[in-house]
Chains A and B, each alone.
Chain A
Amino acid sequence: MIQPGQTKWDYKHPVLAVRGMRPWRLFLWVKAIEAIAQLRPRALRRWAWHPEPKIRHAIRWYYRMGRRVWLHEMIGFFLRDDYRGADRTVAQYLGDTQDHEEEASRSVRAPKRVAA
């Protein structure tokens, strides 16, 4: 794990290490992929001239958010966040697997409502 702070365990932070690649290199690759995908001529044409006003509004909103998030993540990764926990594993943080507790996917009878 490369992200020791639990408050950073969301979908916008690199949490797990990858074999064969340093965290900063992986991070930059992902950011590059995001930029390349969003700056394609076809994507920019949609941003500028999508014929459906509501969809165009949504596209532009997501671009606005994406731009702020992209910069926020760059600054956070290189200037703010702490990655000193790189030598620990998920098991060291969280213990054994809990596959046997995947209770939500079990098929069982419907609950009986209790009287108020």
Chain B
Amino acid sequence: MTLTARKRTAPRSNYRRHPLRILLVNIPHPAIGSRIPREQLPPLGLLSVGGPLIGDGHAVELLDAEFGPMPLPTLVAEIVRRAPDAVLFGHSGSSSAQPIISRIAADAAAALPDVRIVYGGVHPTYFWREILRDEPYVDAIVRGEGEETTRRLMRALDKGLPLDDFPGIAFRRDGAPFGTPPAPVITDLDAYRVGRELIDHRRYSYWGGKRATPTRSRRSTSRRIAGRPTTGSPPIAR
């Protein structure tokens, strides 16, 4: 079984089989909690998904449009400029973010016909049928926890493997929304490292407007996420 939503129009001349170039996008959320404080917390969910993807050898970047916030046309233009193989939109608990994600994804897919669009998060976990029905540019939806399922999905997309072989995914099969069985809850989260190098921790804060850096603030959330310098992949150059 393969994806049926959109097929590649032509192989890219510089297309590399491995790794995939993956762009994680944190959209500018409209919620008051995002807009009023004028400071941002690290997008922990996307970092948690990005870490295992880096570990798998993919080229991963994170675009955080919460800063500014970035106007939506600018965000779309930036996605198009980077021209990734796959754009992953994730958000937690936010039905309120879905209309914005849908708009950005539609515009990005129109400009990049070959790009894979993937959603993850609480809202898509429950509304995958409606999304796959209404948004033809969406290739797959990660349902439930994303650390392992997203790894498997990207691996399958990269190698052209069937998507119905592993749990926690939704996609179109024979043109109709299809969901595989639920993925089991991850019991050993330590097995999935957080993609700390995907963000500049100096731009993020904890409450109180205190800028948190891995070297200065010993009690901040950012520091806990940042931890010690990682021994894995080097920081992503932007």
Binding site for B on A (CB under 8 A): 6-12, 57-58, 61-62, 65, 68-69, 72-73, 94-95, 98, 101, 103-104, 106-111, 113-114, 116
Contacts and interface: CB of A to CB of B under 8 A. Distances in A.
A106 B182 contact: yes
Nearest to B100: A7
A114 B36 contact: no
B32 A111 contact: no
Given A72-B32, A72-B36, A110 B152 contact: no
Nearest to B156: A114
B207 A110 contact: no
B58 to A, nearest CB: 9
Contacts of B100: 7
A72 B30 CA distance: 13
A61 B96 contact: no
A48 B163 CA distance: 58
A61 B152 CA distance: 42
B94 A110 contact: no
Contacts, number: 78
A100 B230 CA distance: 41
B148 A10 contact: no
A107 B98 CA distance: 29
A114 B31 contact: no
Nearest to B29: A10
B184 A108 contact: yes
B57 A116 contact: yes
A10 to B, nearest CB: 4
Nearest to A8: B96
A98 B126 contact: yes
Interface stretch (B62-70, B79-87, B185-193): B185-193
Nearest to B182: A103
B233 interface: no
Task: Name which of B30, B56, B98 has the most chain A CB atoms within 10 A of its CB.
Answer: B30
Closest A-B pairs by Cβ, 4 of them = A103-B182, A108-B184, A10-B31, A12-B32
Interface string B178-213: 000011111110010000000000000001110000
13 contacts: A7-B96, A7-B99, A10-B30, A12-B32, A73-B32, A98-B126, A103-B182, A106-B185, A107-B185, A108-B182, A111-B186, A114-B152, A116-B151
B233 to A, nearest CB: 12
Given A110-B187, A114-B155, A116-B55, A57 B208 contact: yes
Contacts of A10: 30-33, 94, 96
B95 interface: yes
B126 A104 contact: no
Interface string B205-230: 00111000000000000000000000
A73 to B, nearest CB: 7
A1 to B, nearest CB: 12
Contacts of B36: 65, 68-69, 72
A6 B99 contact: yes
B100 to A, nearest CB: 7
Contacts of A109: 184
Nearest to B179: A101
Given A106-B182, A109-B184, 8 more contacts: A7-B97, A7-B100, A9-B95, A12-B32, A68-B36, A69-B36, A108-B184, A116-B151
